[in-house]
Amino acid sequence: MTEEAPKSSDFIREIITEDLKTGKYDRRIHTRFPPEPNGYLHMGHAKSICLNFGIAGDFSGKCNLRFDDTNPEKEEQEYVNSIIDSVRWLGFDFGPEPLYASDYFDVMYHAAEYLITAGHAYVDSQTAEEMRENRGTLTSPGKDSPFRGRSADENLRLFREMRDGRHPDASMVLRAKIDMASPNINMRDPAIYRIKHAEHHRTGSIWCIYPMYTYAHPIEDAIEKITHSICTLEFEDQRPFYDWLLERLAEGGLLQRPLPRQIEFARLNLSYTVLSKRKLIQLVTEGHVRGWDDPRMPTISGIRRRGYTPEAVRNFCERIGVAKRDSMVDLSLLEFCIREDLNKRAPRVMAVLRPLRMVITNYPEDQEEELDAINNPEDPAAGSRKVPFSRVLYIERDDFQENPPKQFFRLAPGREVRLRYAYYITCERVVKNEQTGEVVELHCTYDPKTRGGDSPDGRKVKATLHWVSAKHALRAEARLYDTLFITPEPGEESGDFRKDINADSLTVLDPVHVEPSLEGSVPGSTYQFERMGYFCVDPDTTRGKLAFNRTVTLKDTWAKIQKAQK
Ligand code: ATP
Ligand code: MG
């Protein structure tokens, strides 16, 4: 076990380093990631996963994946499966099986009976309304329940009746007996068990009482001998109860010391999206997106389908770091991380998204040839491939302008440009649709002496365009994505995040034409479409037709110039 602080440190790693020095946990480090299986994981969870598993990795410790499945009503096996899949995809190892809070229901029940007998818990028969009224406010103390004085025997009898299904939902609850006048509302006799006649996704109908999250969580941590229980800041006010409960159970001999320690950190907020399962569920069920794994979703399954790599996500989580203060991370940082990763690994190919036909009039009709193209200039080991060239090509519609403004250096009437890996070509004639005036075809000539893309006489051109050979290209579909919301903090102004949904977050281009080397690409493969961005093959791909998601754009200097002009 290492006692040195890891390379990238933060306040949590500093606490752990100190605990290792003092031998507080017998030099053991054990963390956990405890999702509730009531939705798909999102980027905020990725931060928590990278932190908990990352710490375990840095300090030769362990990290559990534990499902906090104490609420029977909203939890489903589908969510359990997707969460397991997401954690594994991110590259973390939690052993062969995850753990489940529901496996500890017996222990939690016995702990509750112990608290009753020790005078630390009572059954309250007030209505929910009365309990709310008597809880007090931030500025005024609460009032004791008239049932607070029940004897331990009576409490035990009632609690067992609750367990045995003799009382309807919400007719009574078990509460910790702490202090109704505490300045911390969470310490005013919090509920620890409630009646819920509901089927649980794992325990079926064995139980009709379920532990409250705030009661269950510390016990789960203690049972698993977690050393550092890391959670988000909203649990800070719960920490006194976390400690109170574990202390009582340790006093009673039900738990062994040292007890786990809760540490809070600031949650991830990401601009132009929402990171809340409740809101993400709304996006799915109300049909604003196609599903949990829609590539516009900030879910792990969504960004994965979009073409993000686990390395990029882990790198992002490392860069944002861990702090005690809430802040907003700019989406562009996430995009930077995926560009950086794909730049190293994604093969370059040529694909034309918005095709414009180009005929090379002096290239013989029956001729074709193959040109050498480099697969990845960042990775010499990636080698090269052949791309076919012929008389009819497609180029990008945006690469031509009939009346080019000053800073537009690409193709225009009479102008010469380079076709990547191929030849210099000159635009001789523009063919238009007579009715609409739309440019439908360009007639160009090529200079055979410029094969490979260089001119022997040393003359220069200002632009290099990508292209595909019309008769060799594969037809495909491309899905371009914009942010799901039009504001950095959706709902900040109106209070309803759905009012800020971007109506143009998806653009489908069909047909796009891609070079034939992409034949047979499998879902998940990522490419850089030269000059157009990073793309990934979508699972919607069929044998006859490839579907691509644009993961992220490349930097577009022209767009920047246009923006600056506006
Ligand atoms: P949500 O608020 O989206 O519903 P949650 O906190 O209810 O999320 P849990 O399943 O309880 O979801 O979360 C599991 C773990 O992930 C918790 O430890 C929680 O603190 C952490 N977590 C959730 N959201 C974020 C976030 N945005 N940033 C960092 N950690 C998060
Ligand atoms: Mg939660």
pLDDT, residue 74, reads 78
pLDDT tens for 105-149 read 999 999 999 999 999 999 999 999 999 999 999 999 999 999 999
pLDDT, residue 55, reads 97
Asked if residue 32 lies in contact with residue 65, where contact means CB atoms within 8 angstroms, the answer is: yes
Using DSSP's 3-state secondary structure scheme, residue 82 falls into: helix
pLDDT band at 8 (very low <50, low <70, confident <90, very high): confident
Distance 170 CA to ligand 1 centre (A): 27
Range 468-488 average pLDDT = 97
pLDDT tens for 503-516 read 999 999 999 999 99
pLDDT, residue 556, reads 56
pLDDT tens for 321-371 read 999 998 899 999 999 999 999 999 999 999 999 999 999 999 999 999 999
Peptide bond between residue 258 and the one before it cis (omega within 30 degrees of 0) = yes
| Whether residue 437 has pLDDT greater than 90 | yes
pLDDT, residue 529, reads 98
Using DSSP's 3-state secondary structure scheme, residue 252 falls into: coil
Distance 43 CA to ligand 1 centre (A): 10
Tokens of 256: 């062994």
**Measured from the CB, is residue 34 less than 6 Å from ligand 1?**
yes
pLDDT band at 4 (very low <50, low <70, confident <90, very high): very low
pLDDT tens for 254-272 read 999 999 999 999 999 999 9
From the alpha carbon of 280, which atom of ligand 1 is closest?
A: 3
Radius of gyration of the chain (CA): 31
pLDDT band at 564 (very low <50, low <70, confident <90, very high): confident
Range 544-561 average pLDDT = 83
| Whether residue 466 has pLDDT greater than 60 | yes
Dist. CA 307–CA 297, nearest whole Å: 12
Dist. CA 459–CA 474, nearest whole Å: 34
pLDDT, residue 545, reads 94
Whether residue 345 lies in the annotated active site: no
**Measured from the CB, is residue 236 less than 6 Å from ligand 1?**
no
Query: 28, 36, 357, 498: which one is catalytic?
Result: 36
pLDDT, residue 73, reads 83
Q: Which amino acid is at 549?
A: N
Distance 276 CA to ligand 2 centre (A): 9
Probe residue for ligand 1, chosen from 232, 278, 316, 317 as the CB with the greatest number of ligand atoms within 8 Å = 232
pLDDT, residue 253, reads 97
Q: Which superfamily, per CATH, for 11-269?
A: HUPs (3.40.50.620)
Whether residue 530 lies in the annotated active site: no
Asked if residue 119 lies in contact with residue 252, where contact means CB atoms within 8 angstroms, the answer is: no
Specify the residue with its C-alpha closest to ligand 1, atom 26.
44
Number of Cβ atoms within 10 Å of the Cβ of 508: 10
Dist. CA 282–CA 535, nearest whole Å: 28
| Whether residue 276 has pLDDT greater than 90 | yes
Q: What is the mean pLDDT of the chain?
A: 95
| Whether residue 557 has pLDDT greater than 90 | no
Distance 491 CA to ligand 1 centre (A): 20
Dist. CA 216–CA 109, nearest whole Å: 10
Enter the pTM of the model: 0.94
Asked if residue 195 lies in contact with residue 168, where contact means CB atoms within 8 angstroms, the answer is: yes
CATH number among 2.60.120.200, 3.30.565.10, 2.40.240.10, 2.60.120.260, domain 348-473: 2.40.240.10
From the alpha carbon of 49, which atom of ligand 1 is closest?
A: 16
Q: What percent of the chain has pLDDT over 90?
A: 94
pLDDT, residue 3, reads 43
pLDDT, residue 508, reads 98
| Whether residue 468 has pLDDT greater than 80 | yes
Range 46-64 average pLDDT = 97
Q: What percent of the chain has pLDDT over 70?
A: 98
Range 411-429 average pLDDT = 98
In this structure, of 66-75, 104-113, 407-416, the range with the lowest mean pLDDT score is 66-75
| Whether residue 1 has pLDDT greater than 50 | no
The closest of 64, 57, 66, 52 to 94, measured between CA atoms, is 64
Tokens of 424: 């210099």
pLDDT, residue 559, reads 59
Probe residue for ligand 1, chosen from 48, 49, 334, 497 as the CB with the greatest number of ligand atoms within 8 Å = 48
Tokens of 103: 């496996």
Sequence-distant (≥ 6) Cβ neighbours of residue 449 within 8 angstroms: 455, 456, 457
Query: 62, 277, 304, 550: which one is catalytic?
Result: 277
| Whether residue 543 has pLDDT greater than 90 | no
Specify the residue with its C-alpha closest to ligand 1, atom 9.
35
pLDDT tens for 278-330 read 999 999 999 999 999 999 999 999 999 999 999 999 999 999 999 999 889 99
pLDDT, residue 172, reads 98
| Whether residue 204 has pLDDT greater than 70 | yes
**Measured from the CB, is residue 350 less than 6 Å from ligand 1?**
no
Residue labelled with tokens 């049909």: 287
The segment(s) of the chain belonging to CATH 2.40.240.10 are 348-473
Q: Which amino acid is at 387?
A: V
Tokens of 148: 């607070």
